[in-house]
Structure 1
Amino acid sequence: MNISRCRFIIGLITLLFANQVLAQVSTDAQRRYRSAVESVKIGDYVRAKTDLNAIIQRGGVLAPYAHYYYALACLRERKLDQARLMLKQLQNRFPDWPKKDEAHYLLGVVNMENGQYEDALTALQQIGDPGLRPAINSLEETFVGRITNLNQLKQLNREFPQNRSVGLALINLIQRTSSDKDDLELSDRLTNRFGVPVTASARSNTPPVQPATTPAASPATRPNNRSGRAKGYYNVAIMFPFRISEFDSGKRLRSNQYVYDLYDGIRMAKDKLQEEGITVNLFAYDVDNDAAKTQELLNGSAFSQTDLIIGPLYVEPNKIATAYANQNNILLLNPIATSNELILNQPMAFLAQPSLTRQAQQMAAHAMRLGPNRRVAIYFGASRKDSLLAVAYQAELKRLNAQVVDFQRLKATAQATADAMRLTPAARPATASAAQSATTVSPITLGHVFLASISDDDGPRLLDALARRRVSGPLMATASAFDYYRNSTSTFTRRDLYLLYPDYIDNQREFVLSFEEQYLAKRNTIPSVFTAQGYDMMLFFGRQLAKNGVPFRSRATLRSDTDDYLLSGFDYTQSNENQIVPIVKYDSGRFTKIN
Structure 2
Amino acid sequence: MTGKIYRIYLVLIGLLWLVNQSTAIAQVPADQLKRYKAAVQSIQSGQTGDYERAKFELNAIAQKGGPLAPYAHYYYSLAAFRQKNFNQTRLMLKQLTTRFPDWRKLDEALYLLGAVNAEMNQFEDALDALQTISDPKIKADAVRLEQYFLSRLTDLERLKQLNRAFPNNRNVGLALIDLIQQTGSDKDDLELSDRLTNRFGVPPARTSRPAASTTSTAGTVRPGTSPGQPSRNTRPKGYYNVAVMFPFRLDEFNADKRVRGNQYAFDMYNGIKMARAKLQEEGITVNLFAYDVENDPNRTLELINSPAFAQTDLIIGPLYVEPNRIASAYANQNNILLLNPLATSSELVTSQPMSFLAQPSLARQAQKAAELARQVGLGNRRVAIYYGSSRKDSLLAQAYQAELTRQNYQIVDFKKISGSSQAMADAMSFTANLTATRSAEAVTPTTNVALSHVFFASSNDDDGPRLLEALSRRRVSGAVIATSTAFDFYRNSASTFTRRNLYLLYPDFIDSTREPVITFQEQYLAKRNTIPSVFASVGYDMMLFFGRQLAKNGAPFRNRASFRSDTDDYLLSGFDYTQSNENQIVPIVQYEDGRFVKVN
TM-score range, shorter chain: 0.5 to 0.7
What does the per-residue CA deviation read over 1:554-574, in whole Å, with 9 as the maximum and x for residues that have no partner?
Answer: 111110011110000000111
Distance 2:143 2:329 in 1: 41
Deviation at 1:518, TM superposition (A): 1.1
Work out whether 1:368 is the aligned partner of 2:377.
no
After superposition, the Cα gap between the structure-2 partners of 1:190 and 1:504, relative to the gap in structure 1 and judged at 3 Å, is closer
Q: Which one of the candidate residues 271, 286, 308 is aligned to 1:302?
A: 308
Q: Which one of the candidate residues 215, 219, 224 is aligned to 1:220?
A: 224
SS of the residue aligned with 2:352? coil
The AA in structure 1 aligned to 2:317 is: G
Distance 1:443 1:353 in 2: 38
Partner in structure 2 of residue 466 of structure 1: 471
Q: TM-score, normalising length from structure 1?
A: 0.67
Deviation at 1:515, TM superposition (A): 1.1
The AA in structure 1 aligned to 2:271 is: G
What does the per-residue CA deviation read over 1:133-182, in whole Å, with 9 as the maximum and x for residues that have no partner?
Answer: xxxxxxxxxxxxxxxx999999998777566998999999999984129x
Partner in structure 2 of residue 386 of structure 1: 393
After superposition, the Cα gap between the structure-2 partners of 1:184 and 1:288, relative to the gap in structure 1 and judged at 3 Å, is closer
Q: When the two structures are aligned, how many residues end up with a matched partner?
A: 441
Distance 1:152 1:287 in 2: 40
Q: Which one of the candidate residues 524, 529, 552 is aligned to 1:547?
A: 552
After superposition, the Cα gap between the structure-2 partners of 1:258 and 1:228, relative to the gap in structure 1 and judged at 3 Å, is same
Partner in structure 2 of residue 247 of structure 1: 253
Work out whether 1:342 is the aligned partner of 2:348.
yes
Distance 1:545 1:483 in 2: 37
SS of the residue aligned with 2:262? helix
Q: Kindly indicate whether the alpha-carbon contact (under 8 Å) linking 1:238 and 1:282 is maintained by their aligned counterparts in 2.
A: yes
Partner in structure 2 of residue 429 of structure 1: 438
Deviation at 1:271, TM superposition (A): 0.4
Deviation at 1:491, TM superposition (A): 0.9
After superposition, the Cα gap between the structure-2 partners of 1:546 and 1:174, relative to the gap in structure 1 and judged at 3 Å, is farther
Distance 1:473 1:272 in 2: 45
Q: TM-score, normalising length from structure 2?
A: 0.67
Partner in structure 1 of residue 453 of structure 2: 448
Q: Kindly indicate whether the alpha-carbon contact (under 8 Å) linking 1:505 and 1:566 is maintained by their aligned counterparts in 2.
A: yes
The AA in structure 2 aligned to 1:179 is: K
Work out whether 1:489 is the aligned partner of 2:505.
no
What does the per-residue CA deviation read over 1:327-362, in whole Å, with 9 as the maximum and x for residues that have no partner?
Answer: 000000000000000000000000000000100111
Deviation at 1:267, TM superposition (A): 0.3
Partner in structure 2 of residue 81 of structure 1: none
Distance 1:546 1:164 in 2: 40
Q: Kindly indicate whether the alpha-carbon contact (under 8 Å) linking 1:219 and 1:298 is maintained by their aligned counterparts in 2.
A: no
The AA in structure 2 aligned to 1:389 is: L
Distance 1:337 1:242 in 2: 18
Partner in structure 2 of residue 208 of structure 1: 194
After superposition, the Cα gap between the structure-2 partners of 1:504 and 1:250, relative to the gap in structure 1 and judged at 3 Å, is closer
Q: Which has the higher contact order (CA 8 A, sep 6+)?
A: 1
Partner in structure 2 of residue 591 of structure 1: 596
The AA in structure 2 aligned to 1:473 is: G
SS of the residue aligned with 2:561? coil
Distance 2:123 2:246 in 1: 27
Distance 1:393 1:353 in 2: 17
After superposition, the Cα gap between the structure-2 partners of 1:302 and 1:187, relative to the gap in structure 1 and judged at 3 Å, is closer
Q: Kindly indicate whether the alpha-carbon contact (under 8 Å) linking 1:240 and 1:312 is maintained by their aligned counterparts in 2.
A: yes
Q: How does 1:177-192 map to 2 (within 5 A)?
A: 178-180=136-138, 184=141, 191=148
What does the per-residue CA deviation read over 1:269-317, in whole Å, with 9 as the maximum and x for residues that have no partner?
Answer: 0000000000000000010000001100111111011000000000000
Deviates more, 1:388-397 or 1:163-172: 163-172
Q: Kindly indicate whether the alpha-carbon contact (under 8 Å) linking 1:262 and 1:534 is maintained by their aligned counterparts in 2.
A: yes
Work out whether 1:268 is the aligned partner of 2:255.
no
Deviation at 1:246, TM superposition (A): 1.9
Q: Kindly indicate whether the alpha-carbon contact (under 8 Å) linking 2:117 and 2:126 is maintained by their aligned counterparts in 1.
A: no
Work out whether 1:498 is the aligned partner of 2:503.
yes
Distance 2:416 2:582 in 1: 28
After superposition, the Cα gap between the structure-2 partners of 1:487 and 1:227, relative to the gap in structure 1 and judged at 3 Å, is same
Deviates more, 1:170-179 or 1:578-587: 170-179
Structure 1 residues without counterparts, runs of 5 or longer: 1-148
Deviation at 1:193, TM superposition (A): 9.4
SS of the residue aligned with 1:474? strand
Work out whether 1:416 is the aligned partner of 2:402.
no
Distance 1:195 1:558 in 2: 39
Deviation at 1:208, TM superposition (A): 2.2
The AA in structure 1 aligned to 2:327 is: A
What does the per-residue CA deviation read over 1:431-465, in whole Å, with 9 as the maximum and x for residues that have no partner?
Answer: 556xx712x2x311101100000111111111111
Distance 1:171 1:236 in 2: 35
Q: Which one of the candidate residues 507, 520, 525 is aligned to 1:520?
A: 525
SS of the residue aligned with 2:412? strand
What does the per-residue CA deviation read over 1:208-261, in whole Å, with 9 as the maximum and x for residues that have no partner?
Answer: 2323678xx998123562343111210000001100112379999710000000
Q: Which one of the candidate residues 231, 235, 243 is aligned to 1:229?
A: 235
After superposition, the Cα gap between the structure-2 partners of 1:234 and 1:162, relative to the gap in structure 1 and judged at 3 Å, is farther
Q: Kindly indicate whether the alpha-carbon contact (under 8 Å) linking 2:245 and 2:293 is maintained by their aligned counterparts in 1.
A: yes
Work out whether 1:319 is the aligned partner of 2:325.
yes
Q: Kindly indicate whether the alpha-carbon contact (under 8 Å) linking 2:113 and 2:126 is maintained by their aligned counterparts in 1.
A: no
Distance 1:190 1:488 in 2: 61
The AA in structure 2 aligned to 1:413 is: S
Q: Kindly indicate whether the alpha-carbon contact (under 8 Å) linking 1:213 and 1:300 is maintained by their aligned counterparts in 2.
A: no
What does the per-residue CA deviation read over 1:58-98, in whole Å, with 9 as the maximum and x for residues that have no partner?
Answer: xxxxxxxxxxxxxxxxxxxxxxxxxxxxxxxxxxxxxxxxx
Work out whether 1:510 is the aligned partner of 2:523.
no
Partner in structure 1 of residue 264 of structure 2: 258
Distance 1:212 1:219 in 2: 27
Q: Kindly indicate whether the alpha-carbon contact (under 8 Å) linking 1:242 and 1:287 is maintained by their aligned counterparts in 2.
A: yes
After superposition, the Cα gap between the structure-2 partners of 1:305 and 1:219, relative to the gap in structure 1 and judged at 3 Å, is farther
Q: Kindly indicate whether the alpha-carbon contact (under 8 Å) linking 1:157 and 1:163 is maintained by their aligned counterparts in 2.
A: no
Higher-Rg structure is 2
After superposition, the Cα gap between the structure-2 partners of 1:514 and 1:195, relative to the gap in structure 1 and judged at 3 Å, is closer
After superposition, the Cα gap between the structure-2 partners of 1:269 and 1:164, relative to the gap in structure 1 and judged at 3 Å, is farther
Q: Kindly indicate whether the alpha-carbon contact (under 8 Å) linking 2:245 and 2:290 is maintained by their aligned counterparts in 1.
A: yes
Q: Kindly indicate whether the alpha-carbon contact (under 8 Å) linking 1:153 and 1:166 is maintained by their aligned counterparts in 2.
A: no
Structure 2 residues without counterparts, runs of 5 or longer: 1-106, 154-170, 185-189, 202-220
**In percent, how many aligned pairs have the same letter?**
60
